[in-house]
Chain A
Amino acid sequence: DADVTQTPRNRITKTGKRIMLECSQTKGHDRMYWYRQDPGLGLRLIYYSFDVKDINKGEISDGYSVSRQAQAKFSLSLESAIPNQTALYFCAISGTSFLDEQFFGPGTRLTVL
């Protein structure tokens, strides 16, 4: 089984709709991250969490919110989706040291019409 799972894997929605992307992990890591990938822009950090009670904004948090429901679960919400939020979204996890690698989920491809 994969260490990091994301649901849904693909989603098409309309402008103004509320969308939730979910991430679960089985490695027991404390740190979880949400990234957005756009062509030519690489991976940009949206939000990150170091434990259940910790939420931090990344570089592009506007229009997004997150919830860390448990150590293993980290959800990303788009309260009112807009077309420029069309992108590939990745959840990642890591240990607590800056030397720890990040493990990425398979990604969610979101299209906002």
Chain B
Amino acid sequence: GQQVMQIPQYQHVQEGEDFTTYCNSSTTLSNIQWYKQRPGGHPVFLIQLVKSGEVKKQKRLTFQFGEAKKNSSLHITATQTTDVGTYFCAGWRSSNTGKLIFGQGTTLQVKP
């Protein structure tokens, strides 16, 4: 079954509001990657976190990796209509030999 859980599944926000999606793994992850899929498009890599407790920022996007390396979050400040899409987290399990495990994704809708 799915080993990386992502919540919420859907989120509707008013433009300018903040947005957060959470990713939780049942096992320790070697790293966490975040991807964005625009409507009708394909997933595109955003960023990777490797270290315990790591925080990275890309403009209005803030990515965190938990201290236990089992959870991660993506926070968008002051959403814009260009943020619309589905955000996926994905991680390599420490004991895994080759498979990147994807979360179910969070679909963000932004109302102008």
Contact = CB atoms under 8 A, between A and B. Distances in A.
B100 to A, nearest CB: 6
Interface stretch (B37-45, B54-62, B64-72): B37-45
Interface string B12-47: 000000000000000000110101000001111100
Interface residues of A, number: 24
B43 A98 contact: no
**Residues of A contacting B: mostly:** strand
A43 B45 CA distance: 14
**Residues of B contacting A: mostly:** strand
Interface residues of B, number: 24
Nearest to A49: B98
A41 B102 CA distance: 10
A26 B10 CA distance: 35
Q: Which 3 A-B pairs have the closest CB atoms?
A: A42-B104, A101-B45, A43-B102
Interface of A: 31, 35, 40-45, 48, 50, 56, 58, 90, 92, 94, 98-99, 101-107
Given A43-B43, A48-B99, 10 more contacts: A31-B98, A41-B104, A43-B88, A45-B100, A98-B31, A101-B48, A102-B100, A104-B43, A104-B44, A106-B41
